[in-house]
A and B are shown apart, each in its own frame.
Chain A
Amino acid sequence: MKTSLILAFSLSMASGAFADWLQFRGPNAAAVSTEAQVPAEELKIAWTADLPGRGLSAPIVVGDKVFVTCSSGPGQETLHVFCFNAKDGSKRWERAMRATGRTMSHSKTSVAANTPCSDGERVFALFSSNDLFAFDLDGNLLWLRGLTFDYPNASNSLGMSQSPVVAGSTLVVQSENDAESFAAGFDVATGMNKWKLERPKAANWTSATLLKGVAALQSSKGLLGVDPDTGKTVWNYEDGASTIPSSVVSGDLIYAVSKGITALAPEKGSVTQLWRNEKLNPGTASPLVLGDHLYVVNGAGVLIKASVKNGDEAWKLRLKGPFSGSPVAAGKRIHIVNERGIFQTINPEAPGGKVMQEIELKETVLTTPAISGGAIYVRSDAKLWKLQ
């Protein structure tokens, strides 16, 4: 027991000494880096690593390791999980498996659409084919699931992209679609079901967020707060929500992508609506909260700054769009990449906002960046970049 405590402490210290970005939109899916070390004002490409397949899953970072998934082959049946050295982009390991579920997707997306996540000791890689793999950080396969093999109608012919999240000892996974729609909690150590919930039968590409230990599952019906250990309902907001951009948590509040943005204060058994601004309409990108402000990128590629206190709009700044990926932030800067691969850094404190830097990656980018150790990681269908 003592040994395992020391080991657990050492592990947490080890991962804490580095800057982790463990899931889609990083710490708590808030899209804001919690590190003191922020990326430089003038970023350059530090290294580039080639990828053998397509993907719009975001990279994640655990300590000095960068993980990314992709899919290759004529029907994207080969599923890859990569681990790169953050320092120089060299490959530490790669694992290739095969899709056991359906790989059909809209041509714009791909089978490697869901961002992997980690609890600091394990990496969980989910694909649109509903294949789910758990590796330790050295690439040892710990367990796997074929969720369409288990539940044969769970698929979406347009492709799925809901990214899993870890909550304590549970991996929360959503596979929400028109035919066999569910969310489930899996034991992080074994991959066995802890619970499985029927979800609204409707295609859904949003990812869960965690608020005060409760997993907020978004769908066209609204947001359902569930206990990640049991899947039991803690609170339920039923006024509808988007099925593409995901909501964002900040402090004790959740800024739901619901009829524009609706600020919610969920408690056990109830949800209080604080404000709603129907003009804050995210396009594909999910919103983020930085300081006292909420930032939304609308369908026209316009970044809108609004107050978290009442949703009042402060300014609008036209960016170079269009965007499929979401913005992320570190320190006082927001970073986003458009579909044409133009990486943009924005100073949101400048009057009216100001684009500080643009880097042309010269490839289609449909993903959300990851921030770690003062560096930013971006991927395309063929490359992974470190900007520093």
Chain B
Amino acid sequence: MKLQLAFLIATTSLPLHAVGDLSKPLEILRAVQKEGQGNADASKAWQQITKTDPANLPEVLKGMNGANPLAENWLRAAVGVIADEASKAKKMPVDALVTFLKDSTNSSGARVVAFDLIQRANAKLAETLTPTLINDVSSELRRHPVAKLIETGDKALAAQHKSDAVLAYRKGLDGARDEDQIKTLAKKLRDLGQTVDLPTHFGFLMSWKLIAPFSNADRSGFETVYPPEKELKFDAAYEGKGKEAKWVDFTSKDEYGKIDFNKPFGMEKSVVGYAAADFVSSEDRPAEIRIGCKNGWKVWLNGELLFARDEYHRGAKLDQYKLPCQLKKGKNTLLVKCCQNEQTEQWTVEWEFQLRVCDATGTAIVASK
């Protein structure tokens, strides 16, 4: 026990570059898993890493490459401690951080931290780097140049240079991936008489086949396997809740891609509906299906259940749930189950969802014709 304590004190009180390389403690942090597994070892390794020389910051950030979100947080917190010391000692390794940032094979999370550290050490340098991030793989890094372009457009507009303003806003919109910035830019462009196609920008699936109503009495419909979960026969009709359930074609007119079951089926309560759509991909590729929905829902891709959420009327937003998936080349079939509950308050009317297909940055994946 005494020996262990002495060892711990010795290893945690020496600067790491004097005790050895970072590979072992980084490996320990990267090994943390669900339900607290690896925490005990990680705590000691974390202390070792925080004592490293600031010159090793890029090495610590590299530890985030391919790490799970828990390990990323261990490392993020360690980077914060090292960076505080680096700031105090004016030893932030800015050049090495810039190199790290520019290498887009590094993890997005780590590159966001690197940019923040550069900004903290040298705001002017960060500003010169900002325009280079407009097409970055990190949507978070894109925010900086998009904000700058909004500012540029506003200044041009104030100086009566409308075409320059349109140019800046359009460039900003092309780069923007976050809803708040997209909304701002879309409004500014429309105010200047420009056309903005938000469904295409986001990649919403606008046309679906819908079927309803099946029963969701006592909210049991969420778990009930209705025929569309077994077969997709668009000419079939089934016994529904109080009426026959048949497939209908539905194309959303909402520019945020809302697929509203109330429109074709009426304001039903305690019901289940399904939506099916094909998405043709030009290649086998990883993707994200992002859904916003305030009803109970399930999503299947090519027959595989991606996620299910049994929550009603607590709110919905764009990209509320991000479901990583793999698209296959050719036709991919999406099936959404959307459950409405029994509540009758005015704020429980919605029976709808919005869904888009994009990459991990949030860039829309365009379906092949």
Contact = CB atoms under 8 A, between A and B. Distances in A.
Contact of A98 (B40, B47, B109, B321): B109
A234 interface: no
A192 B35 CA distance: 6
Given A74-B180, A143-B42, A157-B294, A96 B311 contact: no
Measured as residues with beta carbon below 8 angstroms from the partner, the interface class of chain B is 35 or more
Contacts of B84: 93
B90 interface: no
B28 interface: no
A59 B77 CA distance: 21
A178 interface: yes
Specify which of B32, B47, B80, B314 lies most central, judged by the most chain A CB atoms within 10 Å of its CB.
B314
Interface of B: 32, 34-37, 39-40, 42-43, 46-47, 50, 68-70, 72-74, 76-78, 80-81, 84, 109, 140, 143, 178, 180, 294, 307-312, 314-317, 320-321
Interface stretch (A16-24, A146-154, A257-265): A146-154
A153 B70 contact: no
B73 A98 contact: yes
30 contacts: A74-B140, A74-B178, A74-B180, A98-B72, A98-B76, A100-B73, A102-B321, A104-B315, A104-B320, A133-B77, A140-B43, A142-B39, A143-B42, A144-B70, A144-B73, A144-B74, A146-B34, A146-B70, A149-B34, A150-B34, A150-B35, A153-B308, A156-B314, A157-B311, A157-B314, A157-B320, A178-B311, A179-B310, A192-B39, A193-B35
Nearest to B78: A141
Interface of A: 74, 93-98, 100, 102, 104, 106, 131, 133, 139-146, 149-150, 152-153, 156-158, 177-179, 186, 190-193, 201, 203
Contact of A157 (B37, B39, B80, B315): B315
A157 B34 contact: no
A140 B109 CA distance: 22
Given A74-B178, A143-B42, A177 B311 contact: yes
Given A96-B76, A192-B36, A156 B69 contact: no
A105 to B, nearest CB: 8
Given A97-B76, A157-B311, A190 B316 contact: no
A85 B39 CA distance: 29
Given A143-B39, A178-B314, A190-B36, A100 B70 contact: yes
Contacts of A156: 311, 314
A100 B71 CA distance: 11
Contact of A193 (B36, B76, B78, B316): B36
Contact of A94 (B40, B80, B178, B180): B80
B315 A96 contact: no
Given A96-B76, A177-B311, A149 B69 contact: yes
